[in-house]
Amino acid sequence: MGGALAAPALVAHAVDGRGWPADPAETRTAGAVVSRVAGPGTAAVPGPRTPPPIRAAERPLPLGVSAAEDRPAPPASLTIPSIGVETELEHLAVGDDGTLAAPGDFGRAGWFSEGPGPGERGPAVIVGHVDSRDGPAVFSRLAELRAGDLVEITRTDGTVVRFAVTDTFEAPKDAFPTEAVYGPTAGPTLRLVTCTGAFDRAARHYVSNLIVYADPA
C-alpha cells in the first residue's frame, strides 16, 4: 500500500485492464482513517495486477544515524493481532519519477525503505492495499484499529519492535498531511497507511487515505 504527497502515500486505484476493477470491492472496510495505499475491487479478471505508483519524497537517514552499519536490521514482517494481520514486508523505494511503488502483492504490506526503519528515530512508514479485484487486501481492516492496539514488527535478524496505536486519521488524498506522516519526530514512531472513503468511479480510485499513528509500546 498514490496521492498528492511530497512523501510516499498509497492510493487505491481500480483500473480495468490492469487487474483492478471499475467498482470497489463491496467487502472493503470504509473506515474513518485515510491511507495512501492502493486498493482494488472484487471480481476476478484476467490480466496482470499492477498497482499504480505512489507519489513520494525521499528522506535522509533518521536523526542520529550516521552510517549504514549503525542501522538495525531491516523489517521482515508485520503482525497486528487485533485485526488478524500477518504479512511479510516488501521494501518500497522511490523511482526516478519521484513516486513510491505500491506493494506488488495485495496480500503484503510494504515498508518505505528510504525512510527510518521501525525502531529508529523518526517515522517508519508502512503502506498496504485495502482491497483488490479478488476481495479484501492486507489492510482491509485497518480502520478497526483503536488506541492501545499492538503492532509488532520482526526484523530480519529476529528482533521484534512493538508499537501501540495512538490515533487514526482520515484525510483527502489531495490534502495529505505529508509532514505529519513523514516529518521528523523526537523518537521512533510508526505510520500505517491505506485507502479509504468513497470510491470515485470516474477517476477509479478512493478519495481519501487512512493513517494510523503508533508509538513504541
* Percentage of the chain modeled with pLDDT above 70: 66
CA distances from 189 to 62, 124, 217 (A): 11, 6, 10
Q: What is the reported pLDDT for 199?
A: 84
Taking 90 as the threshold, does the pLDDT of residue 93 lie above it? Answer: no
Taking 90 as the threshold, does the pLDDT of residue 87 lie above it? yes
Segment among 8-12, 48-52, 72-76, 185-189 with least mean pLDDT: 8-12
Cell of 198: 468513497
Per-residue pLDDT of 22-55, as tens digits, reads 343 333 333 333 333 333 333 333 444 455 444 4
- pLDDT tier for residue 150 given thresholds of 50, 70 and 90: very high
pLDDT confidence of residue 165: 98
Over range 115-144, report the average pLDDT: 95
Between 107 and 70, residue with greater pLDDT: 107
**Would you put residue 158 in left (φ > 0), alpha (ψ -120 to 50) or beta?**
left
What is the model's pLDDT at position 106? 95
Evaluate whether 100 touches 80 at the Cβ level (below 8 Å). no
> Which domains, from first to last, does the chain contain?
1-58+83-148+165-213 (2.40.260)
At 161 the pLDDT is 98
Residue 122 pLDDT: 96
Amino acid in the structure at residue 204 = R
Q: How many CA atoms lie within 13 A of 140 on its CB side?
A: 20
Q: What is the pLDDT of residues 155-196, one digit of tens each?
A: 999 999 999 999 999 999 889 898 999 899 999 999 999 999
**Residue 88 pLDDT more than 70?**
yes
- Between these two residues, 153 and 12, which has the higher pLDDT value? 153
Average pLDDT in the chain: 76
